Amino acid sequence: MNWPTVIYSEEVMREAFGIETRPVALADRLRLLQALSDTGLKRICLGAFVSPRYVPQMADFEDLLRAVRPKAGVTYFTFTHNHKARLRSIDFSPPLTVEEEVCTFFLDICDVHQRRNVNRSIEQSMANWPELIADAKGRGVTRASAAIASVWGSNFLGKFSQSYRLGMLAREIDTFRAAGLEVVEIGLHDSQSFCLPHEMEADLREIKRRWPEVKHFHLHMHDARGMALPSLYAALRTLDASDTVLIDGTLGGLGGGQYCGNGQASAMAPTEDVLHMLEGMGIAIGVDLDKVIDCVWMLEDILGRPAYGHVSKAGPRPQTPAQFYDPNLPAVESLGAARHFRLGATAYEGQTYSPWSKPITGPFRETAG
């Protein structure tokens, strides 16, 4: 297949820990971060410079940054939602990597969610665009990123039409162009889990038709209704080798938005499931999936509850004889016993029930090549 270049961004440190009902100990976050850094992941978001009044879980974010021991080859970054946050990122670089600055418009096209999230209407946010552009150009910024959120619909207002969402995207792009800025990225953020795969495909086709010069895309897919992974697959099928797509996801699929009405149930595309799909499609990311699964289990131990992803529970598809299941393993019922794919026979110790009267030895039918 003519797949696009995929860049994967791990967001669990911000998306998941930022919505936990109780603070996660700094030592636990650092322990998980170290393990994540050893998986082969190349981009890890560490959190955000936000007010602890609204996100109390980030109150010790700067303490975390002071304690991080960065691993060579890994980009650690933070969510820079404004220039003030970017300046704080510079103060903590390293461990943070401050990437090339672009002038970014990030507009939630659901006016209700926009007001709930940033306490200003769509119109008020758009009125600030000239100031954002002037400030960016004053610092020598020449490139821009156009991003919209709640792209496909809203829990408060229902489904949005393609003409509405691409019309709002066009207003951003036209504003940038009128100011002499080159639009190099388009971001689509499914803040309220409304996307369906056929809509992703149709929208990307139309976006590529209208703005063929844009070759970099950013997809941030929430998963309250289980459509993040199929929608990402639709995007990969629609884009081509001339494109680059940045995909956000979280370990175990944990995360969510405080203001969309779904809370932790809004979730994210699970890292282990996305990477498993990419690997099966022949899209190399260079990540050790076994180590990622170990990280999911560590995360579950830290939080004291299961994560949402699938591959961390059932394991990757067995590909080699060494990975094939023992035909005579006992009946497996619990999630703990299912971990035999990683832990071996110790996972199902004590479970001896089986319906067969003698060992299954074959011969076995060969699978079709």
Alpha helices, H only, 94-196:
111-118, 122-127, 129-138, 162-178
Residue 233: its H or E element: helix 228-238
Residues 221-250 have a mean pLDDT of 97
Task: Fill in the DSSP letter of residue 200.
Answer: H
Q: What's the Rg (C-alpha) of the chain?
A: 22
pLDDT band at 369 (very low <50, low <70, confident <90, very high): low
Dist CA 305 CA 315 (whole Å): 18
Asked if residues 165 and 109 have their Cβ atoms less than 8 Å apart, the reply is yes
Highest average pLDDT, of 50-59, 87-96, 250-259, comes from: 250-259
Asked if residues 218 and 185 have their Cβ atoms less than 8 Å apart, the reply is yes
Dist CA 161 CA 25 (whole Å): 43
At which residue do the structure tokens 């489904």 appear?
A: 159
Q: Which pLDDT score is estimated for 46?
A: 92
Conformation bin of residue 55: beta by default, left when phi > 0, alpha when psi is -120 to 50: beta
Residue 321 has pLDDT above 60, yes or no: yes
* CB contact set of 215 (below 8 Å; sequence gap of 6+): 184, 242, 243, 244
Nearest one of 273, 282, 187, 267 to 235, comparing CA atoms: 187
The string of pLDDT tens digits covering residues 198-228 is 999 999 999 999 999 999 999 999 999 999 9
Q: Which pLDDT score is estimated for 40?
A: 97
Dist CA 187 CA 185 (whole Å): 7
What single letter denotes the amino acid at residue 241?
Answer: A
Q: How far, CA to CA in Å, does 45 sit from each of 77, 89, 265?
A: 5, 12, 21
Residue 58 has pLDDT above 80, yes or no: no
Q: Which pLDDT score is estimated for 52?
A: 73
Q: Are strands 158-159 and 153-154 parallel, antiparallel or unpaired?
A: antiparallel
CA atoms within 13 A on the CB side of 320: 1
Asked if residues 103 and 130 have their Cβ atoms less than 8 Å apart, the reply is no
Q: Which pLDDT score is estimated for 283?
A: 96
Q: Which pLDDT score is estimated for 87?
A: 77
Domains of the chain: 5-314 (3.20.20.70), 322-369 (no CATH)
Asked if residues 214 and 186 have their Cβ atoms less than 8 Å apart, the reply is yes
Q: Which pLDDT score is estimated for 82?
A: 67
